[in-house]
Amino acid sequence: MSFSITLPDGSKKDFTDAVSISDLAHGIGTSLGKAALGAKVNGQIVALDYKLSKNAEVAIITDRDEEGLAILRDTVAFVLEAVAKKVYPEIHFGEHGTDDEGFYVDTDKENQIKINELPDLEKAVKKVIKAGEKIASCMMSKDELADIFNDDPYKSEMLKAEKGDQVQVYKLGDFIDFGFDALLPNTGKIKQFKLLSVAGAYWKGQSSNPMLQRISGTAFFKKADLDADIKRREEIKERDHRTIGRDLDLFFVDPKVGAGLPYWMPKGATIRRVVERYIIDKEVADGYQHVYTPVLMNVDAYKTSGHWAHYRDDMFPPMDMGDGEMLELRPMNCPSHIQIYKHHIRSYRELPIRIAELGMMHRYEKSGALSGLQRVREMTLNDGHTFVTLDQVQSEFSKILTLILDVYKDFDITDYYFRLSYRDPKNTKKYFANDEMWERSQSMLKKAMDDMGLDYVEAEGEAAFYGPKLDIQTKTALGADETMSTIQLDFMLPERFNLTYVGQDGEEHRPVMIHRGIVGTMERFIAYLIEIYKGAFPTWLAPVQVEVIPVNLDAHSDYAKKVRDELNKRGFRAEADLRNEKLGYKIRESQTQKVPYTLVLGDKELKDKGVNVRRYGTEEEVAKSFDEFISEIKQDVKSYSREE
């Protein structure tokens, strides 16, 4: 027997006998041998004791590789299981796994694990780590394992899902488990770990299944990395829009007056107003006609649209008006805009017709889903519907996408990706039944993206029930994926509402409807802006753009008021801090409130008719004439958030 191993640098090593990953690594170099944690063999992750016996491409994994971290985290998860089994003999385990954040183990036992039991579990794991116990691996037959796990419903089910007849298992003392790619050979190799939380998670991720307890934690090779990660988690909290929203007095949600119903304080309202005016101007310039339509609508419209059948549980219950009329708080604006379209007979000459509105709508989101401004029960959507002929779909699509990307530049939004959201072919029940329509519209979307040369991911099961869509996905401070913008093709509603236009041939034709949102809902968008700017809004959006501070109240208040008034007269948002406090106190507050410009006015400025400017985030003081300052801030506002 002879075979050769190809290493990442292209070099080859020949062997006549089977060789373990560990020996291979030692053979390459002593330090690599020590650092080796596992290997990738033809792309598959294996443990150190894996025996190579045929030609293969092998890359040794060390703590510098992402896969190394996954091996470490899997090992901690495994040791945690072994320890938990000792502490709670009746415990069962569900799924376990690792991700960017760390690792998790799903558990099930009579009495749920409480958060205050975590420190004891952590201590017990540390003890095992210190003892440096051996983690053994071997192959076992499914039958043998089925006997071992016969009283464990979760493991039995997972075992069935394993491929092949032989399953790789790991052992620590009496404890045995499977489903790991590779583990470290000894508990002593675990360096830094921390248990973070216990939370609920449905077995196999389905809400109809029992709920298990998920213990989450994280692990690193170096203490500095763990410390940095803990610090990162704290910083994320500081960037959370709810924290900043409170500190800067932007908005609040008071459960006593209504969960999920936000109140916009003057400063938050200012930001929102600037965004609303901006987006309306932008859309009007792009050919949209802005309208106002009522938040109440006869429930029949939602029965026609199909929303009632699909989403009734997430809608507010209809109001019975007593005379047979049932009014519904609208959960979306499409049927309203359809009414606008239907109000006249439409000619092909008019198309595309673009209707837009900042439409307020209500959705009865489940209480557990509500979160600050990110998930609410009343929201205002930057909504728009364009009605086009079949021939116009692609050009309209790219026109909308161009607008979106232009808007992103103005807000300096750079961290996003495109997702083509298709229906789930296995679950067609949820979707409008018309295979040909789905095939056609999905390929139209794909072609439009390809023609524009844009990268995207394709996701089945993410479509709207009436059609496929392009979603533009961003991330919140806490790392959750969320849809910022969307373009949706809809062949269904025009059918349901019998929308028509008169063509050149004098006959009636069916238009295609495109639903689109540029910045999504005001609530979610402003939550997003708070997080990307960390509360330090660029000047054009800042609720207070200029804070004017007199050095001495008696001597300089009049001048401060005059400067403030002059700024306000020119359309800037300026405030004068005339409270009876020390200068340092006011400067501090101006900084913690993240005001872009702080002007200090004293004897010098009064004499020169000038201002002393401190830009947020700097410690420089710059003396300027009033006119110089005006042209600086004017330029600043005009540039939006663009980095130029």
Partner RNA sequence: GCCACUUUAGCUCAGGAGGUAGAGCACCGCCGUGGUAAGGAGGAGGUCCUCAGUUCAAAUCUGGGAAGUGGCUCCA
Name which of 242 and 346 has its Cβ closer to RNA: 242
Least distance between RNA and beta carbon 115 (Å): 4
| Region of 32-40, 71-79, 88-96, 363-371 interacting with RNA (CB under 7 A) | 363-371
- Check if the beta carbon of residue 93 is closer than 8 Å to that of residue 155: yes
Name which of 66 and 313 has its Cβ closer to RNA: 313
Asked whether position 167 contacts RNA by CB under 7 A, the answer is no
Q: Which of residues 453-472 bind RNA (CB under 7 A)?
A: 464-465
Name which of 127 and 604 has its Cβ closer to RNA: 604
| Region of 163-171, 181-189, 201-209, 504-512 interacting with RNA (CB under 7 A) | 201-209
Least distance between RNA and beta carbon 206 (Å): 6
Name which of 231 and 604 has its Cβ closer to RNA: 604
- Check if the beta carbon of residue 528 is closer than 8 Å to that of residue 535: no
Asked whether position 265 contacts RNA by CB under 7 A, the answer is no
**How is the beta sheet containing 103-108 ordered, strand by strand?**
92-98, 103-108, 211-220, 192-202
Q: Which of residues 222-251 bind RNA (CB under 7 A)?
A: 240, 242, 246
CA quadruple 575, 579, 583, 587: dihedral positive or negative?
Answer: negative
C-alpha–C-alpha distance, residues 474 and 522, integer Å? 15
Asked whether position 428 contacts RNA by CB under 7 A, the answer is no
**Which of 410, 404, 563, 552 lies closest to 471, judged by CA?**
404
Asked whether position 155 contacts RNA by CB under 7 A, the answer is no
Name which of 135 and 404 has its Cβ closer to RNA: 404
Name which of 453 and 584 has its Cβ closer to RNA: 584
Of 600, 629, 633, 641, the one binding RNA (CB under 7 A) is: 600
Name which of 349 and 429 has its Cβ closer to RNA: 429
Least distance between RNA and beta carbon 540 (Å): 21
Cα Rg of the chain (Å, integer): 31
Owner of token pair 């036992």: 109
Asked whether position 207 contacts RNA by CB under 7 A, the answer is yes
C-alpha–C-alpha distance, residues 600 and 583, integer Å? 9
Q: Which of residues 612-631 bind RNA (CB under 7 A)?
A: 612, 614, 619, 621
| Region of 46-54, 126-134, 185-193, 476-484 interacting with RNA (CB under 7 A) | 476-484
Of 29, 173, 255, 266, the one binding RNA (CB under 7 A) is: 255
Asked whether position 112 contacts RNA by CB under 7 A, the answer is yes
Least distance between RNA and beta carbon 111 (Å): 8
Name which of 2 and 207 has its Cβ closer to RNA: 207
For 567-616, where are the E strands, in sequence order?
574-576, 597-601, 610-615
Least distance between RNA and beta carbon 135 (Å): 27
Of 267, 515, 516, 564, the one binding RNA (CB under 7 A) is: 515
Structure tokens at 377: 């029960």
Q: How many residues bind RNA (CB under 7 A)?
A: 73
Of 7, 32, 211, 405, the one binding RNA (CB under 7 A) is: 211
Instruction: Sort 601 into a burial class: Cβ within 10 Å, 0-12 / 13-18 / 19+.
Output: buried
**Which of 384, 352, 341 lies closest to 497, judged by CA?**
341
Of 84, 551, 563, 633, the one binding RNA (CB under 7 A) is: 551
Q: Which of residues 44-83 bind RNA (CB under 7 A)?
A: none
Write the DSSP symbol of residue 506. Answer: S
Least distance between RNA and beta carbon 502 (Å): 28
C-alpha–C-alpha distance, residues 484 and 521, integer Å? 8
Asked whether position 368 contacts RNA by CB under 7 A, the answer is yes
The size of the chain, in residues, is: 644
Q: Which of residues 323-342 bind RNA (CB under 7 A)?
A: 331-332, 334
Asked whether position 262 contacts RNA by CB under 7 A, the answer is no
Q: Rounded to the nearest 10 degrees, how much is the dihedral formed by the CA atoms of 88, 92, 94, 98?
A: 30
Q: Do the strands 546-550 and 597-601 form a parallel or antiparallel pair, or are they unpaired?
A: parallel
**Which of 589, 606, 607 lies closest to 598, judged by CA?**
589
| Region of 88-96, 199-207, 221-229, 268-276 interacting with RNA (CB under 7 A) | 199-207
Angle between helices 522-533 and 266-285 (to 10 degrees): 110
Asked whether position 591 contacts RNA by CB under 7 A, the answer is yes
C-alpha–C-alpha distance, residues 138 and 148, integer Å? 15
Burial 466-498 (b: 16+ CB within 10 A, else e): bbbbbbbbbbbbeeeeebbbbbbbbbbbbebbe
**How is the beta sheet containing 296-298 ordered, strand by strand?**
296-298, 326-329, 319-320
Residue window 294-323: x/- pattern of binding to RNA, with contact defined by CB under 7 A: -------------x--xx--xx--------
Of 187, 293, 488, 521, the one binding RNA (CB under 7 A) is: 488
Least distance between RNA and beta carbon 371 (Å): 5
Asked whether position 259 contacts RNA by CB under 7 A, the answer is yes
Name which of 291 and 587 has its Cβ closer to RNA: 587
Least distance between RNA and beta carbon 427 (Å): 10
C-alpha–C-alpha distance, residues 255 and 160, integer Å? 47
C-alpha–C-alpha distance, residues 186 and 544, integer Å? 59
Asked whether position 563 contacts RNA by CB under 7 A, the answer is no
| Region of 67-75, 80-88, 496-504, 596-604 interacting with RNA (CB under 7 A) | 596-604
C-alpha–C-alpha distance, residues 78 and 91, integer Å? 14
C-alpha–C-alpha distance, residues 522 and 318, integer Å? 25
